[in-house]
Amino acid sequence: MYPFKEIEQKWQKYWEENKTFKAIDFSEKPKYYVLDMFPYPSGAGLHVGHPEGYIASDIMARYKRKQGFNVLHPMGWDAFGLPAENYALQTGTHPKITTEKNIATFRRQIKSFGFSYDWEREINTTDPKYYKWTQWIFQQLYKMGLAYQAEVAVNWCPALKTVLANEEVIDGKSERGGHPVIRMPMRQWMLKITAYADRLLKDLDLVDFPDSIKEMQRNWIGRSEGADVDFTIFDSDYTLKVFTTRPDTLFGATYMVVAPEHPILKTLIPSEYKEAVQAYQMVSASKSELDRTELAKEKTGVFTGIYAINPVNGHKIPIWTSDYVLMSYGTGAIMAVPGHDQRDWEFARKFGLEIIEVISGGDITKEAYVGDGVLVNSQFLDGLHVADSQRKIIDWLTEKGIGQSKVQYKLRDWVFSRQRYWGEPFPLYFDDNNNIHLIDESKLPLVLPPLEKYEPSGTGESPLANLPEWIDFIDPETGKHCRYETNTMPQWAGSCWYYLRYLDPDNDKAFCDKQKENYWMPVDLYIGGAEHAVLHLLYARFWHKVLYDLGFVATTEPFMKLINQGMILGEDGEKMSKSRGNVINPDEVIGNFGADTFRIYEMFMGPLTRVKPWSTSSIDGVFRFLNRVWNIFVTDEGKTSPDIQDVTPDSSTLSLLHKTIFKVTDDIENLRFNTAISQMMIFVNEIIKLPVKPRSVMQTFVHLLNPFAPHLTEQIWNLLGNSQSLAYIDWPTYDPDLIIDELVTLAVQINGKVRGTFEIARDSTDQDCIENAMQLENVKRYIENLTIVKTVVIKNKIVSIVVK
């Protein structure tokens, strides 16, 4: 067993003392920015899923350095968030203390892997020197008109007297205690991400993200084209605007539906309908999002007593209210076309509303017909197909001034405040008239004050509301009473721009020096979990575009290439969890096998992006591999093996080496670490058979293994008499002539079945190949007394003979 513990400590100390991985701002070399999604330092410590992405990025970082790139590879902590605050609630420990402790654990664990981070660039989102700039960016958003306040429904738990995050609500009950949770409107800060919807969608074409992530983002943004149409209310001046993707079906609109929250229900309801409508509104309000969607298979609703006029045919149509129409999408009202929309069809069926066919081709007595067809019962649209009639009706509506084409997004503005303590304070204050004043830039950061108690305020406000001595103050300039915002920013805030802070972590004049930003950005490779596929990535892309519009950054997109590592499951194939008892502790694995074995094992498990189960016995195989490598180079006494000699390698050894250089290089470039490792195993299996191992070949191999097993290879490199670290010594190149075999093995197929193989010189003529094939005894057996119909030769691969 090789002395991994000693070696790993030695080299980690060496790298740290020599600042081996310090990234230099500005250089003649091309830059390469490889970024990990920084972790939330939880109390549980690192689990084996974390390092998977970090190992991959570290291999890239080390490989690129050896390729002559100036590499930026940083790490930091996304440390605001709920768990620390909940822990404070239970124990009274300040979140800052908990956070510091957790970071220390994470840092120690991460360092034990020997990652080549530039630790001088370490950042922490909870550090006032960091969140000063989170606050500053918020102020820029505010000045751009992208931050505003609104009343938004939140998860209010009357029993706990607090607002809960979505993940704290399970089936309409609080996660802690199981108390009922209702939707209650509360003042919130909002960010107008919808203003960037189109660009967030379009610029996905500029980046190299997995298709699934792009698709999820596209769905999330949810662009749809259609038209706005105004309906007048019968006997009223009021118009009811709807959005529809199917203006062509306007003649089939036989009723309308508004969301239970729609303002029209406050004013226009005839008195005899008020009671029923209000009762329905109450029921809807108490339903969670879940109830309103998944569980509500059966449509519900009530008639409001109001009628609208269908603008195309003047028909008087009833307006209903139902929670299958959402206030948050479109205008909160729809024209219902039961003949050609399945939801409307179900609703109409249930309540006996009229169903008219306006597009032929289906059977609307059975279900709504949503396909293409010829328009019927639609006066001037009759005879047209769907696409044509859409154009025509939109022109008609536009001309009459009662509608126009419209692009609608599913994406909603971002609720950017939390009623919590452990987050960035908003850098602003209110005067007694509720006017908003931004804190002067020179006075930032607005520091989170210490708290005695973390109990919720009881009003739904953050625990900061319990601190009047902090909230209330007299503005020295105006002498007037003012108060700070008690809401804090969500956890996403700090992670929206952290990749920029790494470029210039100590700058107190700007969030990041512009020259440095110009040099390092964009991120060339971003590795992290797919759970951040939508929110974090969309939010960060949004902030980046705002900073771009303000001229603070030079690229429209922050991340050029994104890779999601697949989850690592427990040995039982289930998700790792304490309750299942299948959690693997990385400290233990490193203690038993060392960091190099851990690194290679996680990369050898399978493709980086795939979900794969942990297997403790498989680690043995990797550990054996590294031991074999060690034993090739080092004797039991710790000296260089006498088998390694300055001899000229024979051609097959040289060919093997160059094939290995080629394969490992190509695989790293494409993040196929599993097959790169496999090739190195093949190399070792072959080389170990040689009684004398050529020094030049073995030295080259050490380079190839270095990004994967940095400690072991540094030690061997050192023992071989090299005094410099391997980190910046050139990556080997292969000779294309040496990876081509002189002799190739061809298979012979007769009627599609392989009947033999033969060796022949590379690139032999088809004629030679066929002649050789015919010589084989087994081939002769199968073609005897039969006529050859056809022969196919694929160069250097196969000879295929068809007989009859």
The span from the CA of 662 to the CA of 656, in Å, is: 10
CA 521 to the chain's CA centroid? 19
Nearer to RNA, 569 or 647 (CB): 569
Binding-site member from 755, 760, 764, 769 for RNA (CB under 7 A): 755
Binding mask 529-568 for RNA (x = CB under 7 A): -xx-xx----------------------------------
Residues 6+ apart with CB under 8 A from 754: 747, 748
Binding to RNA, residues 728-747 (CB under 7 A): 745-747
794 near RNA, judged by CB under 7 A: yes
Q: Which is nearer to RNA, 258 or 726 (CB)?
A: 258
Q: Which is nearer to RNA, 84 or 337 (CB)?
A: 337
Residue 684 beta carbon to RNA: minimum distance, rounded to whole angstroms? 8
Taken in order 205, 207, 210, 215, is the CA torsion positive or negative? negative
Which residue among 215, 472, 475, 650 contacts RNA (CB under 7 A)?
215
Distance in Å, CB of 501 to RNA, minimum: 28
Please answer whether residues 345 and 355 qualify as being in contact, where contact means their C-beta atoms are separated by less than 8 angstroms.
yes
Is 362 a binder of RNA (CB under 7 A)?
Answer: no
CA distance between the termini of the chain: 62
Q: What's the DSSP call for residue 207?
A: S
If binding is defined by CB under 7 A, does position 246 make contact with RNA? yes
Q: At its nearest, how many Å lie between RNA and the CB of residue 600?
A: 10
412 close to 538: Cβ distance less than 8 angstroms = no
Q: Which is nearer to RNA, 140 or 800 (CB)?
A: 800
| Alpha-carbon torsion, ordered 423, 427, 430, 436, to 10 deg | -120
Token readout for 61 is 């970082």
Residue 515 or 670 having the CB closest to RNA? 670
Applying CB under 7 A, among 457, 641, 675, 696 the residue interacting with RNA is 675
Return the range that interacts with RNA (CB under 7 A); candidates 34-42, 495-503, 674-682, 709-717: 674-682
DSSP states of 253-290: --EEEE-TT-THHHHS--HHHHHHHHHHHHHHHHS-HH
Q: Which is nearer to RNA, 75 or 793 (CB)?
A: 793
Cis peptide before 450 (omega within 30 of 0): no
Whole-angstrom distance, CA of residue 118 vs CA of residue 120: 5
Restricted to residues 567-596, the positions that interact with RNA (CB under 7 A) are none
Give min distance, CB of 234 to RNA, in A. 21
Q: How far is the CB of 692 from RNA (least distance, A)?
A: 16
> Is position 645 an interface residue for RNA (rule: CB under 7 A)?
no
Q: Which of residues 112-171 bind RNA (CB under 7 A)?
A: none
Contact between 367 and RNA by CB under 7 A: the answer reads no
- Please list every residue from 686 through 725 that binds RNA, using CB under 7 A: 688-689
Q: Collect all residues with Cβ–Cβ distance below 8 Å to 296 and sequence separation of at least 6.
A: 287, 323, 324
Mark residues 517-536: x for contact with RNA by CB under 7 A, - for none. Answer: -------------xx-xx--
Closer residue to RNA, CB minimum distance, 258 or 471? 258
Residues in the chain: 804
Cα-based torsion angle of the residue sequence 265, 266, 268, 272 in order, rounded to the nearest 10 degrees: 80
Do 634 and 622 contact (CB within 8 A), yes or no? no
Give 144 or 792: the residue with its C-beta nearer to RNA: 792
Q: Who's near 271: CB < 8 A, 6+ residues apart?
A: none
Total residues interacting with RNA, rule: CB under 7 A: 86
660 contacts 668 by C-beta, under 8 angstroms? no
613 binds RNA (CB under 7 A): yes
Interface residue with RNA among 42, 404, 627, 640 (CB under 7 A) is 627
Give the integer Cα–Cα distance in Å for 728 and 16.
Answer: 15
Amino acid identity, position 804: K
In whole angstroms, give the CA distance from residue 526 to residue 269: 55
Distance of alpha carbon 525 from alpha carbon 560, whole angstroms: 7
CA distance 264 to 331: 11
Report if residue 775 touches RNA, rule: CB under 7 A: no
Task: Single out the residue of 452, 587, 620, 650 in contact with RNA (rule: CB under 7 A).
Answer: 620
Judged by beta carbon, residue 9 or residue 745, the one nearer RNA is: 745
Binding of RNA by 783 (CB under 7 A): no
- Least separation in angstroms between CB 229 and RNA: 10
CB of 224 or CB of 239, closer to RNA: 224
Yes or no: say if 684 and 716 are a contact pair by the CB < 8 Å rule. Answer: no
In the complex, the smallest distance separating the C-beta of residue 467 from RNA, rounded to whole angstroms, is 35
**DSSP assignment, residue 707?**
T
Is residue 305 helix, strand or coil? Answer: strand
Q: What are phi and psi of 139, to 5 degrees?
A: -60, -35
Least distance (Å) from RNA to the CB of residue 431? Answer: 37
The dihedrals phi and psi of 690, each to the nearest 5 degrees, come to -75, 130
Shortest Å distance, C-beta 220 to RNA: 7
Near RNA in 56-115, by CB under 7 A:
none
Q: Please report, for residues 78, 108, 113, the alpha-carbon distance to residue 102 in angstroms, rounded to integers and kept in the order given.
A: 11, 10, 17
Of residues 484 and 623, the one with the C-beta less far from RNA: 623
Q: How far is the CB of 530 from RNA (least distance, A)?
A: 6
ω into 180 cis (within 30 of 0): no
625: contact with RNA by CB under 7 A: yes
Q: Whose CA is closest to 697, among 663, 664, 648, 635? A: 648
Decide whether 437 or 797 has the Cβ nearer to RNA: 797
Interface positions, 311-330, toward RNA (CB under 7 A)? 323-330
Q: How many CB atoms lie within 10 A of CB 27?
A: 11
Q: Does position 405 bind RNA by CB under 7 A? A: no
CB of 217 to RNA, least distance (A): 9
Tell the smallest beta-carbon distance from residue 547 to RNA (Å): 26
Nearer to RNA among residue 482 and residue 534 (C-beta):
534
Q: Is 787 in the site for RNA (CB under 7 A)?
A: no
Q: Which amino acid is at 598?
A: F
Continuous segment of H or E residues that includes residue 201? helix 197-202
Q: Which of 173, 199, 628, 695 binds RNA (CB under 7 A)?
A: 628
341 token code pair: 């929309």
- 174 touches RNA (CB under 7 A): no
Q: Considering only residues 262-301, where is the footprint of RNA by CB under 7 A? A: 289, 292-294, 296, 299
Of the candidates 172, 226, 586, 707, which one interacts with RNA according to CB under 7 A?
226
Q: Is 611 in the site for RNA (CB under 7 A)?
A: yes
Provide the minimum distance between the beta carbon of 667 and RNA in the complex, in angstroms, as a whole number.
8
